[in-house]
Chains A and B, each alone.
Chain A
């Protein structure tokens, strides 16, 4: 009965209630959606790091991780791989070699981490081969793969392998993608010009485009003008086991593009057999054995198992390799809660004011109810329920809208292109797919109910203090 009355009471002053309900709905929607975007970005980062960079578990020789000694390698890798493959939870195993060196072209050189891989094995562990930029190569699928190198997009830019060129084809392409006529004409000035690097290109583009035009179309123009230098070659130099300088000439076997510029600019992949010979390792050796599991939740279990199996080796789970990532997701959850609490606190003011109004305008009515025998507890409960209805109606509406918007935007993602560089420097993708778990809605619902209850306490107490005799006499 009380619940029914409270619900009816909400709709007695429709406009006023609707204002509060809308406020709650908008606040909750904005908050939940903002959290969904943040959460999506963090989840994407974790997935990307696991799929492209570290996988679930890594095994190295003791000490390799701290001192990176070229000589700390693992022996009889094939046996170990076979044994680990036999574990039920394990999906796939691969091994890698790690060498530090320099990448040089005729005019540029930069420090890189050279990773020797077996492309066959890698495919079932990492998804890096899927991040291949179309038209740049084919990820070790030629007849002779020994001279191929798979490098990151940023490194390709640094080594001037990616160049920029404006020509008729590019202009035509831009035209069909809807670039305004005046801009096409401005760019046409550079038709036939080639730029050796991105910054040069941007400088020239800036000289003919306005800031607004650049913000809107700069990225489209840049992408269309990108050209991979034909038959790009570069030299990798490093030190072998006996401390002699060694190296080789490599051809571009593909360029990968992932949202982590640090990784992209520093990692070069080549076939492990050739590298093993160059650094003078015996066959059947590797620096790291990397394991992918069927289910990420088994990580700790399998890590323990492997530690027992190979006490002389170092076994690390992804959480131990990237502790900051694990902590980020923990801290993020606390932050979402604080964020929602802040919004609800701001909403509470509106609810308190409205409920106070409700009590004051019904002084006579409340006096009457008490006079005819409704006990104070019931009055208190009625007001509290009314307040909860106000906040919950708005909250549920807000949550439904945010759920729909999240699902809708998650299909194509949201692109923060203008801030791509900054996002990727932190390892986040600038193309975010919002995502939020159902349990978050549950938490928000509880928070909303608590807000409704807390903001009714003061008005309800006010109602209790009314003296029925006096209340009846008010107009």
Chain B
């Protein structure tokens, strides 16, 4: 959006000394705004967007990521919140930071000229046209800073302002007559800042007027004396200050001062003309102190000349030196700035053909998963402060074939989403000497994240970037994870601001990347440097929000646009084919649909993801899938649907083999079992339906019921079981000497258990030690049981 196109809506800041009252006025103003105007206001003041609460019952990260107030009426609470925020220092500075370069220049010039400036002065300083200045002023007014009670007709002498129409609501008022401005002659202005705003405006240098507002009179007199002014007694502080400002603003005085110093000092003053304070150390090793000059602290050389020339400011605390802004302006023939390039205010668009190859899940999603996998196998060791150093990030970058910065970005995003976290790996020593080592491990959330759809995973990465506070693009892309790092929350607003500017382009438009960064710097000079924007664009390219392969132009991808607008994302053109070969390898494109890759990974093991994905079909994985309900046809069907080449016959066989083997062994739980060798009795027992007996062998049946339930079910049908002696063996009759039993087989439980133990022993060791009494006892028991059965079978056969 171009600067200066705000609707002429006026916010009033009448008094910063009474924030409560002021916020009430602001709230009324905000409430009166139309939804469109409110949206525009929030769009253009990024800091406001972070103050908007999400709509009710909505997780904020699920909403559009541009901002939450997008074309919707805000709740009472949100408006209240905004008004309170705007009434505070933080809010005012936030608004000032939202001014573009021209507006900023206008505000600075105005603040510099005691809060009011004429059109001629503004044109002279900024180099912009009258129309541009008018539009910029409208933009400033739309946000804040004017008092409608101060509006007046332009003074007839101010020719330049005569063209400003009253409908533009340009407030004209006399400057505030309080305070240090007292000696300033009254004059009419085209633009006036509220005095409370005025002193919040950052100037491009150190102003003596502001700096010395609270200095002692003796200090002021001292400087005035050095500047060649005669000593005056009984003069008010304000008068002295005014005199000082006048002297420092006089080109003649300043030049005289400069002429009075040595060439070395003159050169130093020349370097200070940019207005930035510098370290005294850059010029001399002497230490500056305004007081207690004793024998040991006699200033000399360049430092002495700095002090004595009067046009240079010095600070003992920071040991810094600067040329007063007043003097700089005097040397610049009364100008504060170089002209502003207003052409940057608009985004110069070019036609753009998005082409057909769109809407792929960007590689970043896959890379993020690979990092999680890699670190799951081998968690990287953290540094002593629980940060993650560059080495593990470079290692994983090498594995992925991406730059360390991209891997670092992903690592930070994974941490932002809480998918990885530093945990204590070990602890040595005690008390104060305890030393901890940390490593980064996947959190419980990581498996849940991996189970959501690739699209959702990608969305979560994008959203986590927009909300990230663990790194700052102003410092470039992170190549490590800094533990506990928390950067300014405004970053979120700035990212959304840049995204929103891109969203303002149509699908058939793009902008030059360098020019875009410059425009962003023009629009938000206080917060967006061109390098910062370039880094943001690099991130957007990697995350697939803007095209990666379109050279130096910037345009949102279809998926990126859809995500920002909260629309459905079309994934139809993703690569969903692979090549399946008879050596059981599968080669899939590096741009494969992540859904496809996820399914593939259920049947095959990754051999390489160093570009194209290479897999090897895994019997174990297929077996696992089949065990969890898939059929051989499902697996083969998947292969034949997605393979560019016919499914090799041996692969088909492999799948069918695995499926055939699956289910050969089945396990379940049984409550009790029943043994009977009497066929008739056994059949009778089996017929008792409530007993839920299933015959598993000619003489054995099992039931899911517990022994007691089984017993009760059978008793109801007149079948009585002998008392249970073991929780696992249920004999149908007590041991009897007679083998002639009427009914089921007779087993002596204690004998049987001993026999089983003996059998186990035999398995363990084939050579039984003759001295092992226990073993011999077991063997004897086994022999008895064997005899018992032999007798029984013999007699039965007879």
Do these two chains interact? no
Interface residues of A (CB under 8 A from B): none
Interface residues of B (CB under 8 A from A): none
